[in-house]
Structures are given as C-alpha cells and as structure tokens.
Copies of this chain bind each other. A is one copy, B any other.
Amino acid sequence: MTTSIHDLPPEEPDSPELSELYDDFKRENLTPLWTQLDDLMPMQPTPRALPHVWRWDTLLPLAERSGELVPVGRGGERRAIALANPGLPGTAYATPTLWAAIQYLGPKETAPEHRHSQNAFRFVVEGEGVWTVVNGDPVAMRRGDFLLTPGWNFHGHHNETDAPMAWIDGLDIPFVHYTDTSFFEFGAERVTDEATPDVSRSERLWAHPGLRPLSVLGQQVSSPIAAYRWEHTDAALREQLLLEDEGQPATVEQGHAAVRYTNPTTGGDVLPTIRAEFHRLRAGATTPIRREVGSSVWQVFSGTGSITLGDEQHDVTTGDLFVVPSWLPWSFTATEEFDLFRFSDAPIVERLHFDRVHIQGDNT
C-alpha cells in the first residue's frame, strides 16, 4: 500500500563520534528514536503474539493431573492453568492484554474468596456442580453459561458434587499488570454463602429482557448480571438463523449468527476491558476474511469447523481454544453447525479510538 520502512536503504556503519554519542545516551538513560523507529512504529500492527491453537483433549488431562498434585487454597488461590502465547515467552499471557486459563476444582473443593482490580469472567464448555459466589451471591455454573466477576468484587468458588469440574477463566491480568493498576485483597477462607440455588439473586433482579429494577438506577461500570445462561444465548442465535430463513435481516452475514453479551445499564460491553460474544455458523457457512485491531481468544463450544489464522488452517472441535492476534487475517468454515465463544480486548481498543476493521471484499 505505502512504502515500508523496510524498503529504505540501510544505515551506514556508525562513526567513532556516533558510537561515542550512543554510549553517552546509554549512560544517561536515553535512546535515539531513529535507530529503532521501524520496530516501534510499524506500518501496520506486527504483534509478537502468535496465532495458536490449544486442544481441549490436551488441556483437560493436564488440569486433572493438577487436581491430583496441587492443592487449591489461600496463597495460590486458584488451580488455573493459563494459555501461554508462544510469541510471548516468559509470560502466561494468551495475548498482550488477555489472560485465558482452564480452572479445575475437584469434588467438594473450595477456592477461597478474594478480590482484585482485574476483571474476570468464566465460560463453561462442559460440566456443572460448582457455584461461584460473587459478593455473597451464589451463582450456579453450567454448560454454556457465561459468568461475570467484575473488578473489585469478592468471589470464591466451591464444588458441591463428587465430580470435578473445569471451565475457562478470562481476565485482563496482562493489561492490569502492564498498566500497573493492580490491587488485591484476600477475603474469606470459605465462600460466604454456601447455598446452591439454580438461579442467582443477581439474575432474579436483572436478567429480565428490557426491565430494570427501580431500586438500582444509573449506569454501572460493569454488567450487574452475574450469569448469562445458555438457554438465552442458544435461543437468541437460533432465532437469528430462523429470521434469516424468513428473509429478514438478523445475522452478521449469511449463515453467521452472533450475539454480544452486554451491560443492561448501558447497552455496552459487560466489562470495561473485555468484550464477550457468541457466534454460530450454519453447517457449510464460511466467514469472509477479517482483520481487526485488537486481540481475541476463541473457544469452540460445539461442532467442528476449520479456522484460517493468517496462512494456517486448523480443524477444531469442542473445547479447543485459539488466539487471534491484532490485525491477523482470520476466517472460519463450519463443517457442521459450529458454535464459538469469543472474548477480546475490543473495549480497550475502542475507548482509546484505535479501532479499525477490514473485511475482504467490503469496499464500503
């Protein structure tokens, strides 16, 4: 499109005077821009993070082995195993901004309460039996549910059954670490309410379509809905495809239904730093090639399909996770009906006005 800095003639070898100048810079904690502009300000995003796929049938056995060897409790706090992007060695980060981990809780175990600046959610690809207790409100975790723990809410988890349970945690740990904004406090050793209701108090108060309690007005920074249940997500996606069958506008594009989880007090994202969505492709559907500024983590919820990340293609199935770094071209093809959960750092990118999207073939 434009000339790349890479195309420019190489610099001459440094003269002795210049070498001395550079030494003096170094001693005085200074660095010249001109020797590193290329890396610092690339022509388009050149993320260090790599696209990568983690397989559920690898992850889950490792989580089970952790369950046998590593206790859960105060100090380590959580038995969570993070996706470590191979392009970000030495970190436990899925992308520069996002943390994604499989968390595992054995029969009758409790992960103690704490709170932190970091915003968190859980997504359940299989299993049930754990309640996450958010500011004293016990929230059942079941397959397909998306559950929120916004920053600075006390939370712990406890497994009430004789079977273990695993799920996915998503947080903005890398971003909070990077921006030096982390605060953390320990809470109760056990969860503060051990009740096991089917529905949380938060949902009873807030999860009615278009209705708000008069007792809590005003905009809230994060969504007050603690659990977005699978039955609603599934119904919303099903209806979009049926509407498409009826010739009505409803889907993102042909054969591709999608919903965004939102904060009912603003209509915006559920958390200040994290966007979450659920996508469904009809069997045979293909998405156009997209590039977006900002990074995403996806998990296949059900079905099988083929994903193209940059130049590479992967077949993926239930539970598999993969990362799409900033500006990497991606598209999906559904072998059979194909359900995917996605989370991304789009609120960071959009609130700071760095968002751009390119869809191949879209010239609008």
Q: Which one of B118, B209, B294 contacts A209 once the chains associate, using CB atoms below 8 Å?
A: B209
Surface stretch bound by B, among A62-70, A124-132, A298-306: A62-70
- The stretch from A218-226, A310-318, A332-340 touching chain B is A218-226
**Cβ B184 vs Cβ A42 within 8 A:** yes
Q: Which of A62, A186, A204, A207 has the most CB of B within 10 A?
A: A204
Contact B207 A207, beta carbon cutoff 8 Å: no
When C-beta atoms are compared, the residue in chain B nearest to A239 turns out to be B204
Q: Which residue of B lies closest to A253 (CB)?
A: B215
- Cα–Cα, bound, A43→B52 (Å): 32
Give Cα distance in the complex from A184 to B176, angstroms.
27
Q: How distant is A356 from chain B, measured CB to nearest CB, in Å?
A: 7
26 contacts between A and B (CB under 8 A): A3-B186, A5-B75, A8-B74, A11-B75, A18-B69, A29-B52, A29-B54, A32-B81, A34-B76, A40-B173, A96-B179, A96-B180, A117-B354, A151-B353, A179-B349, A179-B352, A201-B246, A207-B209, A209-B232, A210-B270, A212-B262, A213-B240, A214-B252, A215-B249, A267-B267, A347-B352
Name the one of B36, B49, B78, B208 contacting A34, with C-beta atoms under 8 angstroms: B78
Once the chains bind, are B180 and A325 in contact (CB under 8 Å)? yes
* Interface status of A290 (Cβ within 8 A of chain B): no
A263 at the interface (CB under 8 A from B): yes
**Complex Cα spacing A235 to B76, Å:** 41
- SS of A interface (majority): loop
Where the two chains meet, the residues of A that have a C-beta atom closer than 8 Å to any C-beta of B are 2-3, 5, 8-9, 11, 15, 17-18, 21, 24-25, 28-37, 40-47, 49, 52, 54, 58-59, 62, 65-66, 69-70, 74-86, 91-92, 96-97, 101, 116-118, 151, 173, 175-186, 201, 204-215, 217, 219, 221, 223, 225, 228, 232-233, 235-236, 239-240, 242-243, 246, 248-252, 258-267, 270, 272-273, 277, 279, 293-295, 325-327, 345, 347-349, 351-354, 356
Given A54-B28, A184-B42, A205-B250, also A261-B33 (CB < 8 A)? no
B84 touches A353 (CB 8 A): no
With beta carbons under 8 angstroms apart, the residue of B11, B34, B79, B81 that contacts A30 is B81
The reply to whether A250 and B215 form a contact with Cβ atoms under 8 Å apart is yes
